Structure 1
Amino acid sequence: MLVHTDLAGRPAPHSTAGRELLRHGYTILRGAAPASLINGVAHDLEPRFAATPFCEGSFYGERTKRFGRLLIRSPLIGELVMHKAILDLAELALGNWCERIQLNLAQAIELHPGALAQFPHRDQDMWQGSLGEVEYLVNVMWPLTEFTESNGATLIWPRSHGLEALVEEPAEPPIVAEAEPGGAIVFLGSTLHGAGENRSSAVRRGIIVSYCLGWLKPYENQWLAYPPEVAKQFPADLAALAGYVQHRPNLGNFEGQCPSVLFGGYPTEPLAAIDALRPDQDALLADYVAGQRDGGEDLAA
């Protein structure tokens, strides 16, 4: 069956949010998560916010606090990371360039009064790959407090993504991504953005969850953030998203097997390496092996 695709070869989005994300480089989902979930996450993270020192360096922000490993900071974070509508958007934006996506980062951010506007940037610049055609990343900002123009809500330059990322100056001014807790601000890794200036008297808190191509080195080292003895407690799909699965063909293996084998402890005996190939590679290999076997039978005859 023929499936209509956009110019990048991806399936055409069926949702308004998907169309907005691909067309404008960002979308905002209002009321994506219930207040009870966001309030629970905020409560769980409160002690860590209080204990975390300010960042060092102008990019992170000297009036800003940041910390990661959120899947061990609150049992509720997994619900945000595995949010179906968000994962659908990530698959839409990234699925044409990888066999599976992975968790790139789960980080909490707190902007204090006096925080300067962040340097406008594109998160895809972490990787020195081809630009303008491939999307590497999808970001999701979950506000824990209201995001307003005065407290440093994220600034996003519409339609600055894709091929426009190769243009030195964006064609349009930024929008202020104002949102209430429970909303989700979603934008591509090629979209120009940055935190705004906090001119208010209150802190601005949020969570950034991002997803990247499964064959990339992620921003946050997931295997160190969530070692096997921790990740084995996750639901299987969350553990896979956090890196405990192979990206075919054979990427991210442990002794030739899926790294989830470590959930049973480090093996005491040698393991047999097991192919983890894409279906097209399996078919090509099967034809190759069959051809050799047929050739050997002809020689025997």
Structure 2
Amino acid sequence: MSDEYFQKLVNFSHCPDLPDNEVNRADVEAVLKDGYVVMEKLIPMEEIEMLRDEIARMTGYSPKLGRHIFEGRDTVRIYSLLNKTRMFDKYCLMDRILALNDYFLMRGYGLSATSTIQINPGEKPQMFHHDDGFTYLPRPRMPMGTAIMIAIDDFTAENGATRIVPGSHLWDSKRRPTLEESIPTVCPAGSVIYFLGTTWHCGGPNTSDKPRRAATVQYCQPFIRPVENQFLAVDPRRLPEIPERIVSMMGYGILPPFIGYVDGLDPLKGARRMVEWLQSPLEAHPPGFATMT
């Protein structure tokens, strides 16, 4: 499928030209065709081992399992990674991922959610979904978001590898996938799967005897509300610890000309003011004009 045809089909008029870099161009072309791309062994194994240790630390000895079928009754999810560890920060900003986002999302796109997903033995297949389905906008269309899945363990057909329906990002609103139309994204640990918010997928069943661990980062168009409320999920006192680009993607930045201001203030100043508010008695009559410097 040509880039021109895809743009015509989904009114992707904001898309830039295809990247000059051969690797980035191939990534974009794969996503245009299939709705996803698998980047094998993108993360070195020594880093993957550190991520495994960090997941074990956060999980502890009594992990909470999913609260409903969508989360998975035998699946462990750790949400809001930005508030709990700095180990995953760099994986929100990988060059190949940002190059894809620069093509498929509009300027000023945000960070929607971060989490780890551990599918335990015996878990059933997750229900099929596409990540921006909550927008209820007619399809086919441009995606309202994108996502990556980082394989912390090898992804196999038996241990719950994410199942994706190739080409489903081009479907209309009425069509629904079947298990037979999906394929498991089999890949070694350290691989990264990138897919559009319009691509149908699900977590696969785990019929093996070991858990399958992964981490996900989700991004969203600048005009879409993030899945996870970053302002409440991450203690604002942690913002100085977090890379500036991520902080901006969390919503602590101004999208020109003025989207995101706080009482006329830069949102980072607004965050500091919130910390001060919560450490002081409620002011009965706040001043008409913000005076924080």
Alpha carbons of 1:272 and 1:73: their partners in 2 closer, same or farther (altered >3 Å)?
Answer: closer
Contact 2:86 2:242 survives alignment (8 Å)? no
Contact 2:128 2:177 survives alignment (8 Å)? no
- Between 1:170-179 and 1:136-145, the stretch displaced more is 170-179
Q: Deviations over 1:242-285 (max 9, x none)?
A: 22112334332211222112465457974379xxxxxxxxxxxx
The answer to whether 1:236 aligns with 2:247 is: no
- Aligned-residue sequence identity (percent) comes to 25
The answer to whether 1:54 aligns with 2:65 is: yes
> Which residue pairs with 1:36 in the alignment?
46
Q: In structure 2, which of residues 181, 187, 195 is the aligned counterpart of residue 179 of structure 1?
A: 187
Which residues of 2 match residues 86-235 of structure 1 at below 5 A? 86-95=97-106, 99-162=107-170, 164-170=171-177, 173-235=181-243
Structure 2 Cα separation of the partners of residues 168 and 131 of structure 1: 10
Runs of 4+ in 1 over 6 A off after TM superposition: none
> Which residue pairs with 2:290 in the alignment?
271
> Which residue pairs with 2:91 in the alignment?
80
Cα RMSD over matched residues?
2.3
Structure 2 counterpart of 1:80, one-letter code: Y
Structure 2 Cα separation of the partners of residues 38 and 73 of structure 1: 18
Unaligned runs of 5+ in 2: 20-24, 278-286
Contact 1:25 1:187 survives alignment (8 Å)? yes
Structure 2 Cα separation of the partners of residues 173 and 156 of structure 1: 8
Contact 1:44 1:73 survives alignment (8 Å)? no
Contact 1:151 1:198 survives alignment (8 Å)? yes
Structure 2 Cα separation of the partners of residues 57 and 150 of structure 1: 22
Contact 2:153 2:190 survives alignment (8 Å)? no
- Between 1:128-137 and 1:108-117, the stretch displaced more is 128-137
Unaligned runs of 5+ in 1: 274-301
Contact 1:215 1:251 survives alignment (8 Å)? no
Give the aligned length.
266
> Which residue pairs with 2:281 in the alignment?
none
Structure 1 counterpart of 2:44, one-letter code: P
Structure 2 Cα separation of the partners of residues 235 and 112 of structure 1: 32
Structure 2 Cα separation of the partners of residues 257 and 178 of structure 1: 47
> Which residue pairs with 1:11 in the alignment?
16
The TM-score with structure 1 as length reference comes to 0.81
Which residues of 2 match residues 286-301 of structure 1 at below 5 A? none
Structure 2 counterpart of 1:239, one-letter code: V
Contact 1:120 1:192 survives alignment (8 Å)? yes
Structure 1 counterpart of 2:16, one-letter code: P
Structure 2 Cα separation of the partners of residues 240 and 183 of structure 1: 26
> Which residue pairs with 1:291 in the alignment?
none
- Between 1:64-73 and 1:15-24, the stretch displaced more is 64-73
Residue 215 of structure 1 aligns to a residue in which SS?
A: coil
